[in-house]
Structure 1
Amino acid sequence: MIARVLGPLRVTMNGDSVVPAARKAKKLLAVLILNHGRVVQRDTIERELWGLDVPMSASTGIQNSVMQIRKSIALSQRGAAACRSPKEILVTEPTGYRLDVPCGELDVSHYRRLVAEAGDAAERGDLTLASAQLNSALKLWRDAPLADVPAGPVLRAHVRQLEEGRRSVLSRRVALDLRLGRYSEVIGELHALAALNPYDETLHEYLILALYLSGRRNDALAAYQDVRTAMADGTGLEPSPQLRRLQQGILSGDGSLDEHLERRLLKRPGTWERLGQPTGV
């Protein structure tokens, strides 16, 4: 089984899709993939498939969805030497169901492994490798997670977690590139990201730093004014004290900017946050 959730749901076996057409079965398969190797409790499945309005026939409905997924798996095994039956892949447990597939076949597992390896590299001081690993992790994303699955409350929580992790990974990778002196290389990407995230002060801070460190002082100050205007118009708030100190450091040219750079870019990585890891259901 090869499963892709970092974008539209794609699950194949022997080259054939095993994603069922039925809406509830598709949702169940997505939940099982995101919790592969762990038992998904029946009440969790009910919450995803029906929300708070769980019908008396929920148990039968879940069984029907399980049968549809197993049927898709069985169809993909026709003419192939199958090592395991559909029931050994989608396992019935006393309290729920478990998808038993090697984590190496899931894009989200590959993504998390690359992020963890980047953390190890950063803690060793190999910032070039750390940046490369995070870049490889980000390239696994094809679109919003489960973009074609009508998510219920359980899947929405997973999607939010994945998207927050992606933003954190992206922010960390940009910070590493700045620490590596790749100022000009990240400006275009940061301009696009800042436009998509007008209130994300970290991304705007990195854009201002990249412009300033590339010798574009006026553009850096203009970028500060852009985020200040966007925040005033959209939220009625001023930028954070940290962002204002950065602007003042650029304007004054005193030691405060050097202190900002030391604090934000030049310090050693310390303990790496394990970004995008699953928290369970």
Structure 2
Amino acid sequence: MVRVRVLGRIEADVAGQSVDLGSSLQRAVMARLVCAQGQVVSTDRFIEDLWKGQPPPRALGALQVYVSNLRRVLEPGRAPRTAARVLVSAPPGYRLDLDAEVVDAWRFPKLVDVAAAALAEGQPAKALETADEALRLWTGRPYAEFADEEWAVPEVVHLEELRTVAVEYRAEAGLALGRHAEVIPELERHVKAHPLRENAVRLLALAYYRAGRQGDALAALRRTRELLADELGVDPGPPLRALEADILAQAPSLHVPPPTQTPTPAPAPPRPRRRR
């Protein structure tokens, strides 16, 4: 079985053993295929992306060598002159024929969707377990050395945004399970990294309140109000305003709800369209 990881350093395992994906351009071929989500990448698109619009005279031949080398690495037992089953030829180019479960960047969004559905269905324990599983896939910035390439940027941005959503789903589930003290440290780090994410601030303020830290909860909301005004010239949205009013009133609704009343999570961001 082949497994591919791009949520950090680009790596692959074959039959449980790590394999060498070769030179930088050869690894870029692999990364570009993963980025295409199993769709065909044309040879013209490969040449444009790998050499940034300035291909060498024999770029197509070089690309074919990289593909051939990757095929030997990914299918070491394949008999000569038999069709490849992982990195397959598909006119007008190539694609990866792998299940989403064995490619971390393909599996991660599916796990986030499962966590969201579990929250919406009042199953916070399942949501927490699934969000943890999703976040454990990450070891660094997606696509590593290629993260700033034009062809990779939309996917990197999408995955990083989806990761922030997964962190918030995990916190939402933890709060629903009464684990407010446990979620505070991660939420503090999360809000520090994403100070304009109102949902993150909402979760942190709620966690503070449930931990008996009403002053910290109100301070977090006040800082966000000031930051939104300074940075964007806007007021907090209705969820933050309602939470502030509820905290000041010490509303009973702020206590841990039964699982069937767990708030519906914010939707995950849509996946951007990619060039083929």
* TM-score (normalizing by structure 1): 0.79
* Deviation (angstroms), 1:219: 1.1
- Render the CA deviation track for 1:130-151: whole Å, top value 9, x for unaligned: 2211111111111111223364
Return closer, same or farther for 1:127/1:17 CA change in 2, 3 Å cut-off. Answer: same
Q: Label 1:150 to 1:246 Cα distance change in 2 as closer, same or farther (>3 A).
A: closer
Alignment partner of 1:186 out of 178, 183, 188: 183
Q: Per the alignment, in what secondary structure is the counterpart of residue 210 of structure 1?
A: helix
Question: More displaced, 173-182 or 202-211?
Answer: 173-182
Q: Distance in 1 between matches of 2:72 and 2:158?
A: 31
Which residue of 12, 17, 20 maps to 2:19? 17
Structure 1 residue 49, shift from structure 2 partner: 1.5
Of residues 223-232 and 144-153 in structure 1, the stretch that sits farther from structure 2 once superposed is 223-232
Q: 1:50 and 1:82, CA in 2 relative to 1: closer, same or farther beyond 3 A?
A: closer
Aligned residue identity for 1:192: R
**Equivalent residues in 2 for 1:212-231, closer than 5 Å:** 212-231=209-228
User: Per-residue deviation at 1:20?
Assistant: 1.6
Does the CA contact (< 8 Å) of 1:3 and 1:12 recur in 2? yes
- Where does residue 68 of structure 2 map in the other structure? 67
| Alpha-carbon distance, 1:280 to partner | 5.2
2:233 is matched with 237
**Equivalent residue number for residue 198 of structure 2:** 201
- The residue number in structure 2 matching 1:30 is 31
> Percent identity of the aligned residues?
28
Deviates more, 1:214-223 or 1:123-132: 123-132
1:53 to partner: Cα distance: 4.6
Which one-letter code corresponds to 2:264 in the other structure? P
2:172 aligns to what? 175
Contact 1:145 1:159 in 2 (8 A): yes
Q: CA–CA distance in 2 between the matches of 1:28 and 1:69? A: 9
Confirm or deny that 1:96 pairs with 2:98: no
Name the count of aligned residue pairs.
269
Q: CA deviation at 1:129?
A: 1.0
Greater shift after overlay, 84-93 or 169-178? 84-93
Q: Look up the match of 1:45.
A: 46
Query: C-alpha displacement at 1:190, in angstroms?
Result: 0.7
If the length of structure 2 is used for normalisation, what is the TM-score? 0.80
Equivalent AA in structure 2 for residue 269 of structure 1: T
Long gaps (5+) in structure 1: none
SS of residue matched to 2:151:
helix
Report the 3-state secondary structure (helix = DSSP H, G, I; strand = E; otherwise coil) of the residue aligned with 2:233. coil
Q: Which structure 2 residues correspond to residues 253-268 of structure 1 after superposition, within 5 A?
A: 253=249, 258=253, 266=261
RMSD: 3.4
CA contact (8 A) 1:164 1:276 kept: no
Cα distance per residue 1:24-75 (max 9 Å; x no partner) = 221111121233543222343234223455566543343233234235446x
